[in-house]
Structure formats: structure tokens, C-alpha cells
Amino acid sequence: MDPETEFRRLYQAHRSAVHAYFTGRTGDRDLAADLMQETFTRVWRHLDRLAGMGADGERAWIFTIARNLSVDHARQARTRSAALRSLASQPARAPRLPSTQVIESDRVAAVGKAISELPEAQRVTLTMAAAGQMTSAEIGAALGVPAGTVRYRLSQARTTLAAALGRYDEQDQ
């Protein structure tokens, strides 16, 4: 298999999961797309390292790159925020959330808002399950946590989300 064909296979297999991971981390689908592009640029440059890896090894390696990028991005964002605060003497703006960018439906916007307010670990896990269509075992392997922890976080997230949407429905009536 030539490198481009091999890379396309990897990209198709993992792009949704990687994008969902960054969407969960940043709350911004466009920023998540940028970080996904950077992740796969690094995968493309070091494609030879994947030789002989199974599907689990591939996912683990790709998510190691993604997690490192996420840490770098968070660090840079904190530095930028501090610099902007000192320059403008104003609080830094929160990152844009999916609900404010692309979602037109009020109901879907309410879902996005409720997800954005979840604790980060729950938000990332739920986003990977819902938008990345990953199983608990796959999410656990990608994040380096046991599948049981993933299932617990998903359960907590869904309970919180259901309560938030219940309040939304009451206000809507």
C-alpha cells in the first residue's frame, strides 16, 4: 500500500474520534478542526512509525499526539489570555462554544450549552461517545483510562444533561 493510501485509511478511521476529542477539550468545532489537522500532519510526517502496529496501537499513538497537542494548546491559550489581560486590563473572553457557532436550533443549542457546562472529563468523554461514535473501550484506550471510568463519566454526564434539558423544557413551556 502506498503511503498516501495508507494515510487516507488512517485518516478515515480516526478523524471523527480525534475531532470529537478536540471539540470536547476546546468547546469549539473549528478550533478542533485546526488541532485535528495538526495532529494528522504529524501522523503524516511520521507515518513509518506506524508500521506493524495493530488498530489499537494506531489509535493509542494518534491520541498520544493529540493529547500532547491539547496540552500545548491549553498552555499557549493561558499565556495568550494572561498577555491580553495585562494589555487590555479586561478579562479574557471564554472560547466560543459549538452552540454559539453553528447551531441554529434552540433545542440543539440548549444541548450544546448543557454539554459545555459539564466538567471537562465528562464533556470530553460524552463528546467522544456522541460525536466520535466511540465505544467506552475505545475512549478508554484513547484517553488512557479504564473503560469502567469512561462508563461512569458517561453516566454522570447524561444525568447532568438530562437535568439541564428538563429545566430547559420547563422554561420553554
Cβ atoms of residues 103 and 58 within 8 Å: no
Residue 128 grid coordinates: 467522544
With a CB cutoff of 8 Å and minimum separation 6, the contacts of 168 are: 107, 110, 114
Does 165 participate in binding other proteins (rule CB under 8 A)?
yes
The reply to whether 10 sits near other proteins by the rule CB under 8 A is: no
Rank residues 8 and 75 by Cβ distance to other proteins and give the closer one: 8
155 binds other proteins (CB under 8 A): no
User: Cα–Cα distance between 56 and 64 in angstroms, integer?
Assistant: 12
- Shortest Cβ distance from residue 83 to other proteins (Å)? 28
# of chain residues touching other proteins (CB under 8 A)? 34
Least distance between other proteins and beta carbon 98 (Å):
5
DSSP 46: T
Convert residues 106-145 into a mask of x (bound to other proteins by CB under 8 A) and - (unbound): -xx--xx--x----------xx--xx-x------------
What DSSP string describes 113-173? Answer: HHHHTS-HHHHHHHHHHHTS---HHHHHHHHTS-HHHHHHHHHHHHHHHHHHHHHHHHHH-
Q: Which residues bind other proteins (CB under 8 A)?
A: 4, 7-8, 11, 15-16, 19-20, 23, 29, 33, 36-37, 40-41, 44, 98, 102-103, 105, 107-108, 111-112, 115, 126-127, 130-131, 133, 158, 161-162, 165
